[in-house]
Amino acid sequence: MKLLKLFLILISCQSTIYAQSVYQVEIPFQSQSEVDDLANYIHIDSINANNISTVLTKDELKDLQNIDGLNPTIVGEVSTAVQSSTGIFSLFDFLADTLEFPTRDADYHTYDEVNVELNKLVKENSKHMQLFELGKSYEGRKQLGVKISYDGFANELSKPALVMFGTHHAREHLSTEVPLLMIQKISDLMKQDVDFRDLMRKRVIYVVPLINPDGAIHDIKDGVYKFWRKNRSKIKDSKHVGVDLNRNYGYKWGTGGSSSNPRSSVYKGEKAFTEPEILSVKKFVESHKNIKTMISFHTYSELILYPWGHSKSKIAKTDDQKAFVEMANQMSKWNNYKPMQASGLYVASGDTCDWAYGEHGVFCFTFELSPTAAKGMFGLGFYPGDEIIQSVVDANIDPVVYLLENTAEPLKVLE
């Protein structure tokens, strides 16, 4: 039976996996405006002294090669063979359950495992936690979340709330683990720390670890990582699939740093909020006016980003601007991430935090988790191994507690 399976998988490798090879590419640049311009076509994974590094599909690469003056250099092709030789997965993974992470990354939670874990946590903490359904993905999967408040949920909407979202982007699996494992940390703190328990009598935390389940499943399917970023929605009149969920939010949507080409990994969608995965975020935030602060977890680079992303301008309300900077600086003392305005990297519009702050005044931060840079070639920045999970969770608990303390009146950080 296993031999038959191996045979079938080897045939399918030829047709599907190799066909989906992606390329590690470097592109030299002279000025910041060239970096900002590139962000209209592709996702920039990291920026070095004089080149940017990214992982592209064949189609994306072709599009870039057609642009005058650009000199993209292919550093490597990321095929199954390469992944195997770097030890990310073994032949054993081909034979194992095709919806699991590779053996090397077994500690990462699949979509099903996230839901089992959330159910378990709520069962063990039934007085202080509740399960909720944020919404459903394009393919109909539930986006499950947990509410946490020490005294239950009778006066939920009168308590200032912090929200944590994970994995808008499929391949950023570490950004599922951090909010998920944070729930257990928060539970432990409520048991051990009287001050924290008192704080949690006056606060609500909402955690949704996996915003993009369809994409996350696609990225690990068949035992090989696909470097997939978007969701899996079918695009009208196109053979290409998926919208970049962090370019589809409806504040200054489509004003730079996103693409109108469906085959781009930063495709913004036909209009704002076309995608069910983030339409559910919109509805949830609109119906929970108690939400004052937010963290959207992503990988990688070790950064704490605050608005604006769509513009190089500062926030017009001076006190808000100062509070964002102050909070980012404070939080960076614990996790050692670099605090900066999101557009300082490159301009990008339609992201969660521009919308959360621009539309609702929520003090929203994007945390780009570890590692700082891709190790070697082949985009290992997105797949850093499961051995780093716990240390990344530990590094981020104090920033979360700090933000929670300042969730009722964020401007008080300026006093």
Q: Give 172 or 354: the residue with its C-beta nearer to Zn ion.
A: 172
For residue 194, the minimal CB distance to Zn ion (Å) is: 37
CA separation for the pair 170, 180 (Å, rounded): 16
Reduced DSSP (H G I as helix, E B as strand, rest coil) percent helix, strand, coil of the chain, to 5: 40, 20, 40
Query: For the window 82-121, what string marks contact with Zn ion as x by the rule CB under 5 A?
Result: ----------------------------------------
Return the structure tokens found at 364: 């929203």
Minimal distance, residue 172 CB to Zn ion, in Å? 5
Least Å distance between CB 168 and Zn ion?
Answer: 6
What residues from 286 to 315 belong to the interface with Zn ion (CB under 5 A)?
Answer: 298
Pick the stretch among 29-37, 170-178, 250-258, 343-351 that binds Zn ion (CB under 5 A): 170-178
| Inter-CA distances, 127 with 26, 121, 149, 190, 258, Å | 52, 11, 9, 12, 43
Furthest-apart CA atoms within the chain: distance in Å: 69
Output 282 or 298, the one with its CB closest to Zn ion.
298
Kindly tell me which of 169 and 203 has the beta carbon lying closer to Zn ion.
Answer: 169
Determine the Cα–Cα distance for residues 140 and 301; give it in Å rounded to an integer: 32
Return contacts of 91-100, CB within 8 angstroms, 24+ apart: 93/223, 93/224, 94/6, 94/9, 94/13, 94/222, 94/223, 95/2, 95/5, 95/6, 95/9, 96/223, 98/221, 98/222, 98/223, 99/217, 99/220, 99/221, 100/220, 100/223
By the rule CB under 5 A, 173 interacts with Zn ion: no
Q: CB 155 → Zn ion: shortest distance, Å?
A: 34
Contacts of 265 (CB under 8 A, 6+ apart): 42, 43, 56, 57, 60, 229, 230, 244
CB of 184 to Zn ion, least distance (A): 24
**Is 26 among the catalytic positions?**
no
Residue closer to Zn ion (CB basis): 80 or 366 = 366
Show the site string, 116-155: x = touches Zn ion by CB under 5 A, - = not: ----------------------------------------
Closer by beta carbon to Zn ion, 189 or else 340: 340
State how far the Cα of 107 lies from the Cα of 211, in Å rounded to an integer. Answer: 19
Task: For Zn ion, give the closer residue by CB, 117 or 351.
Answer: 351
* Contact residue for Zn ion among 141, 169, 230, 268 (CB under 5 A): 169
Q: Render 301-316 in DSSP notation, one character per residue.
A: SSEEEES-SS-SSPPS
> Taking the complex as a whole, how short is the minimal distance between the CB of residue 8 and Zn ion, in angstroms?
34
Which listed range, 69-77, 126-134, 166-174, 386-394, lies at the site for Zn ion (CB under 5 A)? 166-174
> Judged by CB under 5 A, which stretch of 67-75, 131-139, 161-169, 307-315 contacts Zn ion?
161-169
CB closer to Zn ion, 172 vs 277: 172
Measure the N-to-C terminal CA separation of the chain; round to a whole number of Å: 69
Q: How far is the CB of 147 from Zn ion (least distance, A)?
A: 24
List, in sequence order, every beta strand (DSSP E) within 278-372. 291-299, 303-306, 338-341, 363-369
Name the β-bridge partners of 278: none
Tokens found for residue 128:
């202080």
Residues listed for the chain: 415
Instruction: Identify the active-site residue in 302, 368, 387, 409.
Output: 368
Q: Interacting stretch for Zn ion, rule CB under 5 A, among 46-54, 74-82, 167-175, 354-362? A: 167-175
User: Residue 230, interface with Zn ion (CB under 5 A)?
Assistant: no
The residues of the shown chain that bind Zn ion, judged by CB under 5 A, are 169, 172, 298
Catalytic residues: 368
